[in-house]
Chain A
């Protein structure tokens, strides 16, 4: 015989304002099987929980119904309390009389009647609940990190230092990401490479980090604790086991005028190249689009073209015939740290719905460059050796104008969000420029200065007060070539003046965008992303580094525009999440998963097609002589997310979700 206890929460005024909680408790006390019903101001408080514990002990309850907020808020709290009183936690259920009742209604009588109905609904269901025990699943205690920028490096190092093996996959030939291209970093002006390259080396030398550069994720199977990831190692054209990084091949390559991606097109590289001197690993890659030999092979020319690098290589490491290879790694957790791309100012766009700035003449007016190009110009490792010169004629620009919010906060070009760090890097650029060109003039057009962060606003003020950057609040309408100068037509909204400025160089502070192709990776991982391609976190405040797929975490600028400190903090947070998960031998998970009745299942596999997670597997039923009698469905409890799609699809009612059986649901519905 069921002995149900009903506990009605006022949630302060949240419920009590619209719902007569005392009336709900009184009405529920009369329901069949209910032996105890009370209301209380805050059921989630210690005294509130004690009411539940005491009632379980005194009234010998077989089920607990808490009429309060959403189960997303406090189901755990009340199930813990129930367990504490010696009752199976799955014999406690919540009914939501806040979000689904008091918050959305105004009529007190009707809302009270509805709260009673909702509570009766669950108290009928709970009579048919059975005790459940958490499921234990195996756990591969190794992690995969996707992306070798500062976020990925930090996550990999933290997890490896925590004692776990890490596989780090980077699609470029070298790790280091965008940070390796920066000159100096705000707000301290440390040299970016000086603080980054030790990390890169550490990753390379770490005994527990397996580094796969020039590689991409091909497919992801499995579930939390048991992922199986297929990785494509793109053909480098160079045998990594033989190459010693001497660089002879680069010096003999005849293709010397290929714009360098690392130098944002300002410098050149060869067809076989190491992207930058401190690259890790220091092994060259052959650019198949530009290598004469490979192009000749593709055209099936009889006579082998070029091949000078192979002749020059003393270790026989060059392999033009090399093909992509695949490796499969078993891991228990995945950290996504794929970073960002910069908004493209011109016509060419990689994302739909985004347009460029024809009015700013980027690509047609000389000496109009973007922020990353300025980083390379200002960088000691850059094409000008750190001397500030303009690209068109190599002269030192005496007046440089910086424009903020290029692409950012510009819905008419397709991006409405603020990229967050441009205000800071522009202030940094003005400082770097003024430190190197003392008689130069730095002018900034801005809309707002967003410099929240430790030492950030002070940094911007320093650029203005100490380094003499001139800030103009307004935007520029157009940029045109005027002789050797670049002419800007702008507006100073503070003085109310239209202004025409002739500059020697213009730097456009471009927005941060999600990486191209991030959607296909996200789909492989079953994680969701927003309209701009940024990976969605599980909860914007309370679960900022989890994704909606258990075991997959997110760090850095692939989640939203992030600067270095934010990215590093997020990366360490993911590492701490993963290490926490790996601190146990096996994983425990909620037992609300589907199960198959082996006797009645006919093996039609409607459930398999209905399952969005691929949790339904095929199970062979053998007869006594070991022959296959029939093939039926079986649910992989690790993969099942408890959505119930299979239960609806099954024609013979052979598959049911624990905690949500047909008997429970129908009993609840019949109570209404």
Chain B
């Protein structure tokens, strides 16, 4: 399977462990990802909150490049990037006036490439994950956190259900780990207010972390760099305002899959988190006998 790959800005910087883990798991899962040449930022919240057309045109350029470079599908691991690409796709497909304005602005034909989120891709590959899993994660309790942009708005939902999605849980079950049942998996973490209104992010992320902890989760799994940064990087600040402290590792879904596939935790970027993953990793037994973890050089 060959698909286009739109890393977005985060996967080249603050979420580089997301990119690293993705690079490590695609091989065993027989997926070839090709980074779109000369992609630009999707504009994120800032573009669509201030200029609607700009919020569509920037991601539409990426769709156009993907099509020009021969891709039918573009993997956008970042939930925010996925959402913007999907919004552009929809705007161009459903509204001829916007479509024309966009093509005029970008000076290209948008083409027909469609974005896919990492959660959907992995859910579709779940049988393969199960088949290739080398390391039993049976004792690991996982809180799957979807956040907003993978499921909302409903017309851009890439998953099975807006209010009761199950795709992340499907992937987690394929790794052998146990998804816990909890309430806040669709709540907002504060998203793009990370820098500009940290107090809101702390308030919202705290309720999410506390609920996950209350449900007995060992680890919180995410598929969005923004959520990750709010829940991991801000966790220390949150813990200060929370009773009984807070110590929940927050990892990417691709990292959990990588662990199950027997990949080395350094290669998966598990050492890059602010909340230490060491105690959680130490609880996972090594690969089953006769098999060795494929260590990859850390970039």
Contacts and interface: CB of A to CB of B under 8 A. Distances in A.
A358 B163 CA distance: 5
A358 B165 CA distance: 9
B162 interface: yes
Task: Give the most central of B161, B162, B163: most A CB within 10 Å.
Answer: B163
B250 to A, nearest CB: 21
B164 A358 contact: yes
B254 to A, nearest CB: 26
A410 B198 CA distance: 36
B183 A364 contact: no
Interface in B22-78: none
A357 B163 CA distance: 8
Nearest to A479: B183
B163 A359 contact: yes
B180 to A, nearest CB: 12
Interface string B152-175: 000000000111100000000000
A435 to B, nearest CB: 33
B224 to A, nearest CB: 20
A347 interface: yes
A585 interface: no
Contacts of A347: 161, 164
A450 interface: no
A482 B163 contact: no
Interface in A333-359: 347, 357-359
Interface residues of B, number: 6
Nearest to A346: B164
A503 to B, nearest CB: 15
B185 to A, nearest CB: 10
A496 to B, nearest CB: 20
Contacts of A381: none
Contacts, number: 14
Nearest to A480: B183
B183 A358 contact: no
A359 B183 CA distance: 11
A482 B162 contact: no
Nearest to B184: A480
A217 to B, nearest CB: 37
A481 interface: yes
Contacts of B164: 347, 358, 364
Nearest to A482: B183
A358 B186 CA distance: 11
Contacts of A480: 183
A347 B164 CA distance: 10
A131 B18 CA distance: 89
A354 to B, nearest CB: 15
A481 B163 CA distance: 15
Nearest to B162: A358
Interface in A482-500: 482, 487
B154 to A, nearest CB: 8
Interface in A354-368: 357-359, 364
A60 to B, nearest CB: 68
A487 B163 CA distance: 16
Task: Give the most central of B161, B181, B183: most A CB within 10 Å.
Answer: B183
A18 B250 CA distance: 77
A345 B228 CA distance: 34
A481 B183 contact: yes
Nearest to A487: B183
Contacts of B162: 358
Contacts of A482: 183
Nearest to B164: A358
Contacts of A487: 183
Interface string A5-28: 000000000000000000000000
Contacts of B181: 481
B186 to A, nearest CB: 8
B9 to A, nearest CB: 32
B205 to A, nearest CB: 18
A487 B187 CA distance: 15
Interface in A453-501: 480-482, 487
Contacts of B163: 357-359
Contacts of B161: 347, 358
A482 B164 CA distance: 17
A228 B212 CA distance: 65
B94 to A, nearest CB: 17
A357 B161 CA distance: 10
Contacts of A358: 161-164
Interface string A591-627: 0000000000000000000000000000000000000
A357 to B, nearest CB: 7
A347 B165 CA distance: 12
Nearest to A483: B214
A35 B246 CA distance: 102
A141 to B, nearest CB: 55
Contacts of A481: 181, 183
Interface in B59-107: none
Contacts of A364: 164
A361 to B, nearest CB: 8
A368 to B, nearest CB: 13
A207 to B, nearest CB: 55
A482 B162 CA distance: 21
A480 B187 CA distance: 12
Interface string A484-526: 0001000000000000000000000000000000000000000
A215 to B, nearest CB: 39
A480 B182 CA distance: 9
A482 B182 CA distance: 9
Nearest to A359: B163
A482 B215 CA distance: 10
A489 B181 CA distance: 18
A487 B214 CA distance: 15
A413 to B, nearest CB: 11
A364 B164 CA distance: 10
A482 B181 CA distance: 11
A372 B259 CA distance: 48
A347 B161 CA distance: 9
B169 to A, nearest CB: 13
Interface in A551-568: none
B50 to A, nearest CB: 28
A557 B207 CA distance: 46
B215 to A, nearest CB: 10
A347 B162 CA distance: 11
A8 to B, nearest CB: 51
A21 to B, nearest CB: 49
Contacts of B183: 480-482, 487
A82 to B, nearest CB: 58
A482 B184 CA distance: 11
A329 B208 CA distance: 65
A481 B211 CA distance: 11
Nearest to B165: A358
Interface string A88-122: 00000000000000000000000000000000000
A660 to B, nearest CB: 46
A358 B157 CA distance: 14
Nearest to B183: A480
B277 to A, nearest CB: 28
Nearest to B187: A478
A359 B186 CA distance: 10
A385 B68 CA distance: 70
A326 B201 CA distance: 69
A347 B166 CA distance: 13
B270 to A, nearest CB: 31
Interface of A: 347, 357-359, 364, 480-482, 487
The 3 nearest A-B residue pairs measured at CB:
A358-B163, A358-B164, A480-B183
14 contacts: A347-B161, A347-B164, A357-B163, A358-B161, A358-B162, A358-B163, A358-B164, A359-B163, A364-B164, A480-B183, A481-B181, A481-B183, A482-B183, A487-B183
Given A358-B162, A364-B164, A480-B183, 10 more contacts: A347-B161, A347-B164, A357-B163, A358-B161, A358-B163, A359-B163, A481-B181, A481-B183, A482-B183, A487-B183
